[in-house]
Amino acid sequence: MTLLHLAVLAPFLMAIVVPFLYRYLRQIHTGWFVLLLPVLLFAYFIQFLPSVANGESIMETMPWVPSLGINFTVYVDGLGLLFALLITGIGALVVLYSIYYLSKKTEALNNFYVYLLMFMGAMLGVVLADNLIVLYVFWELTSLASSLLIGYWFHREKSRYGAQKSMLITVFGGFAMLAGFSLLYVMAGTFSIRELIAQADVIAGHALFLPAMLLVLLGAFTKSAQFPFHIWLPDAMEAPTPVSAYLHSATMVKAGIYLVARLTPVFAGGAEWFWIVSGFGLFTLIWGSYSAIKQTDLKSILAFSTVSQLGLIMCLLGIGSSAVHFGYGSPESELYLIATLTAVFHLINHATFKGCLFMVVGIVDHETGTRDIRKLGGLMTFMPVTFTLAVVGSLSMAGLPPFNGFLSKEMFFTAVLRAAQLDIFNMETWGLLFPVIAWVASVFTFIYSMILLFKTFTGKYQPEKLDKKPHEAPVGMLVSPVILGSLVIILGFFPNVLSHTLLKPAMVSILPMLLETIDHFGVHIYMWHGFNAELMMTIGVVAAGAVLYRVMFKGESIYERLRQTDPLNHIYDSALAGLIKGSIAITRVQMTGLLRDYFAYMSVFMILLLGYATYRYQALAIDMESVAPISTYVWILAIVFILSTLSVPFINHRLTAIIAVGVIGYLLALLFVVFRAPDLALTQLLVETVMVVLFLLCFYHLPELRKESFKPIFKWTNVIISVAVGAIVTLIAFGSLAAGHHLNFEPISTYFIENSYTLAGGKNMVNVILVDFRGLDTVLEVLVLAIAALGVVTMVKLRMTGREDV
């Protein structure tokens, strides 16, 4: 295992240690131990900056399932390194913030940090994995870990609801994405992202190209809260604020953005990718920004703001993909590289100002006991440092100078204005919508930024509506938002610090086929570009936003009429309720509690499946030429076997029925002996003996059943199912025999006879098949038994107090 692999797995290893630290070192906040890991990982990954800036990539491979083309390959390039630094850097700040936000006396810190570390490791795996299957495994781990973090305060109904909602939506998208990855493997014969990019031309011409693209985008859109899958993100705000600052501003919600960016070289260049990515992104942008102005909870405002900003980045990636259509060297490709540059730059900017704002809102909630803007106001004098941070974060989010949000917002306007000039993909007709919708959404962005700032820190102070007397947060809680706020300012004045170290390498990762164009294009970001259309749009945003803000709060009735729940939530709740009712109805039919019904269901399914397969592949054939002669002894055993079996349904006493079933088992063992299978015969004898004895003991010690008699019930359905099962198995046996005789198929037993000793070192072929050739199946069987045993032990050991779910 290399250092790169260890860096990805380190958070999982640390998560194993956390419960012991929490238990034995409770006098020290567990967060102080956890903090060391993201700091060390950030320092480790930052050493790759010079190499990546020079165009190099670092790759390390560890075999996992090489026979299926699945290897744990860690690949560090510009895009992967950018996300790794965000995950570890902001992760360190979030852990530091959580030390002062979560009390070691009242909170289950062992659970919190285990979930947080699991999420950190999963995100690192997502952004650094080169293999799609490995990426998928880590992808679903992010869904699991985020759901656990959202439901951390599980005693709250809203927390449980938000955790379930995020899990259902993101895992649904993950399954769709896995199907898309499978189609990519069918088209290219590899799970390696680098190899898929190399075969992009082959994939683009394949009939499965569009289905694969749609399935992959479904996974990306659900994870990155694109419309209409955005509804899980506002409900996820029930998580503790450190979780919101980490997952829902900088990392998890960016996983879908990462996936779209990473697979742009595979899918970009066509109208479908351009319209789906940019179209959904643009609609998500305006829907999220409009929804944000209707909220009264500070975290809800930031949640819909995050939805809006994610839509903005997604739209930029879609616009930037049009550069692939024009190809290397064309002036148009240089024009639309600005969109990809803006997407990468705003990815960083959004993480800084949104992380800062989430921490500010957490401080307000922590020190006042509420996040409701109708109860807040006038906090500026009580919390001057927090107010200053809110000013920096809010103005950057609104896109005002001299903060970094202004730079990426101006570049966004440039991108949509140039997109409107495209003469491809029917943009001559619909292209004007891009700058119009972008401008309107920016107006809404300005409004909700002002709501967050002024409704919280200015206006009338209302102490009677607050749960606590407000005061400034402790210094430790301010350190992290101060660092993020400082980055907002620094990147506003000196954006080119990142131009060649992070921005350009990330662009090359997204559009590697335009490497020479990117080199010629260069990456230069400036605060002032003169009096151009973009500046006029910004002035218009400020003017219109200021007027609408005053109008909204001039009459509270107007604001109250605006407030309404997202209609898609009603659709989700109705669908979930319908799903539950449907599953209950099916369960009532299927889960009757009667073993005979379960056997009937399984038998009918087997009959239909095998019958269809036999008909579909024309496998029905009977050939008696190759059948060996049957001895008189075998005929006698078979007749006795059949008569014994037929007698069981007509026996009126349970003990007699048990003995009769045991006789059938012993007769079967005799057949194994006749056909020279002594191992199977011995196994059959042992199992049958144990089962008969156990059954007899059970009935002997149940007096009410010992002498019980019953009258068998005759049902034609049981007869039909029984006969059908016997017939289909017999026909398949004859078909297999005929196929082997006429087509010269070599029986599978020949392989085991020849290879059991040489490959597995065992002369007992049956044991070798069970332990080696079917080793994975056997291991899984043992695992199931172990899980069941663990569940039993847990239930025995656990002593419920009755208040766990209160």
Q: Give the integer Cα–Cα distance in Å for 52 and 81.
A: 8
Judged against a pLDDT cut of 70, whether residue 687 lies above it is answered with yes
Position 683 scores a pLDDT of: 85
Position 620 scores a pLDDT of: 74
To which residue do tokens 């954006």 refer? Answer: 495
Q: What is the DSSP letter of 649?
A: G
Peptide bond between residue 228 and the one before it cis (omega within 30 degrees of 0) = yes
Q: Where on the phi/psi map is residue 189: left (φ > 0), alpha (ψ -120 to 50), or beta?
A: left
Residue 227: alpha-carbon gap to chain centroid: 17
Residues 551-588: tens digit of each pLDDT: 877 655 555 555 556 788 889 989 999 999 999 998 88
**Helix H or strand E encompassing 299:** helix 298-320
What size, in residues, is the chain? 806
What band does 677 get if pLDDT is binned at 50, 70 and 90? confident
Asked if residues 25 and 105 have their Cβ atoms less than 8 Å apart, the reply is no
Considering only residues 736 and 712, tell me which one the structure prediction assigns the higher pLDDT: 736
Judged against a pLDDT cut of 50, whether residue 13 lies above it is answered with yes
Average pLDDT of 600-624? 83
Name residue 665's amino acid.
Answer: G
Asked if residues 384 and 509 have their Cβ atoms less than 8 Å apart, the reply is no
Asked if residues 471 and 386 have their Cβ atoms less than 8 Å apart, the reply is no
Q: What is the DSSP letter of 59?
A: E
Q: Give the integer Cα–Cα distance in Å for 323 and 768.
A: 58
752 Cβ neighbours under 8 A, 6+ residues apart? 765, 768, 769, 773
Position 806 scores a pLDDT of: 42
Position 771 scores a pLDDT of: 80
Neighbours of 13 (CB within 10 A): 12
Q: Give the integer Cα–Cα distance in Å for 82 and 499.
A: 12
Rounded to 5 degrees, φ, ψ at 619 are -90, 0
Query: What is the average pLDDT value for the chain, to the nearest integer?
Result: 87
Asked if residues 261 and 510 have their Cβ atoms less than 8 Å apart, the reply is yes
Considering only residues 211 and 654, tell me which one the structure prediction assigns the higher pLDDT: 211
Neighbours of 529 (CB within 10 A): 11
Residues 436-473: tens digit of each pLDDT: 999 999 999 999 999 999 999 988 888 888 878 888 98
Where exactly are the structural domains of the chain? Answer: 270-464+514-529, 565-591, 593-764
- Residues in a beta bridge with 129: 74
To which residue do tokens 């198995």 refer? Answer: 729
Position 641 scores a pLDDT of: 84
The two three-digit tokens of residue 797, written as one number? 């050991």
Average pLDDT of 389-401? 94
Q: Give the integer Cα–Cα distance in Å for 442 and 545.
A: 9
Could you tell me what percent of the chain has a pLDDT over 70?
Answer: 94
Q: Give the integer Cα–Cα distance in Å for 687 and 681.
A: 10
Q: Shortest CA distance to 15 belongs to which of 144, 148, 120, 149?
A: 120
What band does 711 get if pLDDT is binned at 50, 70 and 90? low
Could you tell me what percent of the chain has a pLDDT over 90?
Answer: 48
454 Cβ neighbours under 8 A, 6+ residues apart? none
What band does 540 get if pLDDT is binned at 50, 70 and 90? very high
Q: Give the integer Cα–Cα distance in Å for 64 and 129.
A: 13
**Helix H or strand E encompassing 62:** strand 58-65
Which range has the worst mean pLDDT, 189-203, 211-225, 786-800? 786-800
Position 647 scores a pLDDT of: 84
Residues 69-105: tens digit of each pLDDT: 889 999 999 999 999 999 999 999 999 999 999 988 8
Residues 312-339: tens digit of each pLDDT: 999 999 998 888 777 666 666 777 788 9
Q: Give the integer Cα–Cα distance in Å for 690 and 693.
A: 5
Q: How far is CA 245 from CA 94, 257, 351, in A?
A: 7, 17, 9
Average pLDDT of 758-766? 81
* DSSP helix, strand, coil percent of the chain (3-state; round to 5): 75, 5, 20
- The CA angle 245-250-256, to the nearest 5 degrees, is 130
DSSP per-residue codes, 64-111? EEGGGTEEEEEEE-HHHHHHHHHHHHHHHHHHHHHHHHS-TTTS-HHH
Considering only residues 627 and 500, tell me which one the structure prediction assigns the higher pLDDT: 500
Residues 38-53: tens digit of each pLDDT: 999 999 999 999 999 9
Judged against a pLDDT cut of 80, whether residue 652 lies above it is answered with no
For residue 243, how many C-alpha atoms fall within 13 Å in the half-sphere facing its CB? 30
Position 745 scores a pLDDT of: 64
Position 395 scores a pLDDT of: 95
Judged against a pLDDT cut of 80, whether residue 517 lies above it is answered with no
Q: How far is CA 478 from CA 28, 41, 89, 248, 584, in A?
A: 20, 23, 16, 20, 50
Position 560 scores a pLDDT of: 57
Position 469 scores a pLDDT of: 86
Average pLDDT of 756-761? 84
Q: Shortest CA distance to 451 belongs to which of 535, 381, 536, 357?
A: 357
For the chain, the straight-line distance linking the first and the last C-alpha, in angstroms and rounded, comes to 46
Asked if residues 524 and 358 have their Cβ atoms less than 8 Å apart, the reply is no
Q: Give the integer Cα–Cα distance in Å for 142 and 83.
A: 14
Average pLDDT of 413-441? 87
Q: Give the integer Cα–Cα distance in Å for 328 and 267.
A: 17
Q: Where on the phi/psi map is residue 558: left (φ > 0), alpha (ψ -120 to 50), or beta?
A: alpha
Q: Give the integer Cα–Cα distance in Å for 517 and 320.
A: 13
The two three-digit tokens of residue 161, written as one number? 């609801």
**Helix H or strand E encompassing 28:** none
Q: Shortest CA distance to 286 belongs to which of 452, 453, 435?
A: 435
- Neighbour-count burial for 638-666, b at 16+ CB within 10 Å, e otherwise: eeebeebeeeeeebeebbebbebbbbbbe
Residues 132-172: tens digit of each pLDDT: 999 999 999 999 999 999 999 888 889 999 999 999 999 99
DSSP per-residue codes, 684-697? HHHHHHHHHHHHHH
Considering only residues 764 and 580, tell me which one the structure prediction assigns the higher pLDDT: 580
Judged against a pLDDT cut of 50, whether residue 491 lies above it is answered with yes
Q: Give the integer Cα–Cα distance in Å for 346 and 221.
A: 18
- The CA angle 184-190-194, to the nearest 5 degrees, is 95
